[in-house]
Amino acid sequence: MSRSDQQVTVRAAAKINLLLGVGSPRPDGFHTLVTVYQAVSMYDDVTVTATPGHDGLTVATDVAAYIDASHLPGTGHNIVDRAAAVLGAHHGRSLGAEVRVDKSIPIAGGLAGGSADGAAALLALDRLHGLGTTDDDLLALAAGLGSDVPFALVGGSALGEGHGEVVTRVDDPGSWWWVVVPSAKGMSTPAVYRHHDELRPDAPELPAPPDEVLAALASGDVRRLAAALHNDLEQAACDLRPDLARLVAGGVDAGALRGLVSGSGPTCVFLCESADHARGVAGTLAGEDDERVVLVVHGPVAGAHVVAGE
């Protein structure tokens, strides 16, 4: 039964890639990926409100002060619209609602903010309309929306295979502290992949297995994890944006155990020993540039989950 007298709010987290291995281009143009995801404590909230008698979907977005709203997709082109369409098609009905997205995850930053919104919308609309979609079906619908969307549902720390959409939870008893530095200027993911292919024409078809990162997570040893972090796209991203290479080096100079570009960039992340250590590194990086956004987060955290309305 539809929750016509209520609204539902779902929270979904940003992701960082602890490891991203990229294979050579396949005949279909895609790359086989091996990645280890971690959900971190930076969130978007998606609130859906029933509109009895109206089948249409309206989407409004409020962004944090450090996010440039001009980067938002146009009306009707939001991943929330697509999530509503695929979930409605799955159940053979139209899913009307008023949707408000409260964004704290930077846009086009390699942190899967759009994917988080898609996952949150699937879950929120499912709960609002009482559809009872199974977890397996939600994951399948999520995979159709984008390679990072299934992980946004699962959360925690997980191994991603295929295009990243085949997600398996992994053992991670630790609590990891990160400094996250988004960029005011976005970056084209296809451009980064193209440049990677140019730089690595000899890349293997299948990336190496992520054994050391998984072992480091299971051990809870922060220095072991720092040594194991790796991103095959980092060279291409830094070649296109030399400022990212300078930022990564600057974060290590500021005391971080390790810095790297997250995903296809342009966000850079820095692993630290503790919350206090992370706050110290963040203070140093923020002090170097008054306009720089510097955030402290921890992981792993839960995947998309209801925070109000149930």
**Active site residue ranges:** 15, 148
Q: Which amino acid is at 303?
A: G
For the packed helices 275-287 and 242-253, what is the interaxial angle rounded to 10 degrees?
130
| Residues 6+ away with beta carbon under 8 Å from 282 | 179, 294, 295, 296
CB atoms within 10 A of CB 176: 24
Q: Are 56 and 99 in contact (CB under 8 A)?
A: no
11: helix, coil or strand? strand
Residue 266, preceding peptide bond in cis (omega within 30° of 0)? yes
Could you tell me the maximum CA-CA distance found in the chain, to the nearest angstrom?
59
Q: In 3-state terms, the chain is what percent helix, strand and coil (to 5)?
A: 35, 30, 35
**CA 67 – CA 178 distance, rounded (Å):** 19
Q: Which amino acid is at 275?
A: A
Using the Cα atoms of residue 228, residue 229, residue 233 and residue 239 in order, give the sign of their dihedral: negative
Strand partners, 261: 268
Q: Which amino acid is at 148?
A: D
